[in-house]
A = this chain, B = another copy of it.
Amino acid sequence: MGARRKLDYDCPIRDVLDRVGDAWSVLTILELSKGPCRFNALRRVIDGISQRMLAVTLRHLERDGLISRRVLPTAPPQVEYALTDRGQSLHAAIGQLNGWAVEHQPGIRADRAEYDARPDVA
């Protein structure tokens, strides 16, 4: 979206929403909030993510200082990812939003069903 690209750079919340609005980023943060994890371990636990998207997602999160990347000096070098302090605080903020979601989901679901049942929309 051309207009979105323009907005990205003057609107602070868009920086955040570009991460938070992305399912893979959220799932990754969620997983890492349980503790540090390696690449292929994440891959196995985040259901349905492709190798490519995990790599891309991790690099975005690392670039934004939300996660740290540590190469372990093991035989086949392993890479451990972990939430930074900033990542932790974003996880908390997501938790807030999740609270809103959980609270309002029943109402939203109901309204959607009602809307979909309206004859003038069909």
* Interface residues of A, Cβ cutoff 8 Å to B: 1-4, 6-7, 12-17, 20-23, 26-27, 47-49, 62-65, 86, 89-90, 93-94, 96-98, 100-102, 104-105, 107-109, 111-112, 115-116
Contacts and interface: CB of A to CB of B under 8 A. Distances in A.
Contacts of A105: 12, 15
Given A12-B101, A14-B23, A101-B12, A3 B47 contact: yes
Q: Chain copies in the assembly?
A: 2
A20 B23 contact: no
Most chain B CB inside 10 Å of its own CB: which residue of A21, A96, A98, A112: A21
B97 A16 contact: yes
Contact of A101 (B15, B23, B94): B15
